[in-house]
């Protein structure tokens, strides 16, 4: 079984590449972030033609998450239980579903913007709500994983230059502590280090030739419980999908399971 996560940075802009990638990669379940459309505009029919069902939580031009599955889609939950909301509104940042023998969450963790910005406090509150929401499944006996764009680099070697991020979000002790608390529910990072290259980044800014210069960050993560982690046979970042015209600024992260 092949499961992946990918921040597509607008499913409308990325649809031709997404459909081609699903066909070529043999992915069974894809957790998708930053759909940037309302649910009514999500390309459900185009995906159904490829054999994928869609569970979508999206409200418009910002955020939006989905789970695409060709191995079944049941027990869908839209939204994060206990979501703290931002400026009085809940944002579409989480959706969960059971896909065959595996249960997954697709999450798009708030960016945080700046350390002294209210969005940063919201980010930490949101992560605490996520920890509470997933604790039961994380400790359970069914393969379970939380996949998505966490907007946090877990360690200093997950960014191209730690000094370049001094005083910025994504690398602060509080954010990394929130990740550690999430792992303490029974989850672990299932993507091994190192991979086939020294720095398996998953995101490169469009600006300043960051991708050609490999000035990236590893912020797209797959956190699985014991039964999920024990079934992992391979994991990789599909860096090739970041290349060329019309690419997202994130690359897919792919995990193969024997379940």
Q: Which residues are annotated as a binding site for Mg(2+)?
A: 7, 34, 149, 151, 249-250
DSSP classification of residue 93? -
| Helices (runs of H) and strands (runs of E) counted in the chain | 5, 14
Catalytic residue among 28, 57, 108, 170: 108
Out of 28, 223, 236, 250, which one is annotated catalytic? 250
Catalytic annotation present for 157: no
Binding residues: 7, 34, 149, 151, 249-250
Note the Cα 15 to chain centre separation in Å.
Answer: 18
Structure tokens at 106: 């697709």
- Rounded Cα distance between 31 and 18, Å, is 12
Q: Is 108 a catalytic residue?
A: yes
Q: How far is it, in rounded angstroms, from Cα 122 to Cα 109?
A: 10
Provide, for the chain, the percentages of residues in helix, strand and coil under a 3-state DSSP scheme, each rounded to the nearest 5.
Answer: 30, 30, 45
Active-site residue (options: 28, 83, 149, 158): 149
Q: Which residues 6+ apart lie within 8 Å of 38 measured at CB?
A: 58, 59, 60
- Angle, CA 127 vertex, CA 200 and CA 137 arms, to 5°: 85
Please check whether residue 73 is in contact with residue 46, taking contact to mean a CB–CB distance below 8 angstroms: no
Residues with a catalytic annotation lie at: 108, 149, 250
């Amino acid at each position: 079984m092949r499961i992946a996560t990918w921040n597509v940075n607008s499913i409308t802009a990325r649809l031709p590449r997404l459909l081609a990638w699903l066909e070529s990669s043999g992915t069974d379940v894809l957790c998708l972030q930053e759909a940037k459309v309302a649910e009514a505009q999500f390309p459900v029919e185009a995906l159904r033609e490829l054999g994928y069902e869609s569970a979508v939580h999206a409200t418009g031009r910002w955020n939006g998450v989905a789970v695409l599955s060709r191995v079944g889609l049941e027990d869908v939950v839209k939204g994060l239980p206990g979501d703290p909301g931002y400026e009085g509104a809940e944002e579409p940042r989480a959706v969960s579903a059971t896909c065959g023998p595996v249960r997954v969450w697709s999450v798009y963790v708030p960016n945080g913007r700046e350390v002294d910005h209210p969005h940063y406090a919201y980010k930490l509150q949101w992560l605490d709500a996520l920890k509470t929401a997933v604790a039961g499944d994380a400790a359970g006996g069914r393969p379970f994983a939380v996949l998505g764009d966490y907007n946090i680099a877990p360690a200093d070697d997950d960014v191209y230059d730690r000094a370049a991020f001094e005083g910025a979000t994504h690398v602060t002790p509080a954010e990394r502590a929130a990740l550690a608390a999430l792992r303490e529910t029974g989850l672990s990072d299932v993507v091994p280090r190192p991979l086939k290259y020294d720095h398996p980044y998953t995101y490169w800014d469009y600006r300043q030739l960051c991708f050609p210069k490999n000035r990236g960050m590893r912020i797209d993560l797959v956190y699985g419980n014991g039964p999920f982690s024990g079934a992992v046979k391979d994991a990789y970042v599909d860096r090739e999908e970041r290349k060329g015209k019309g690419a997202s600024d994130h690359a897919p992260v792919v995990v193969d399971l024997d379940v």
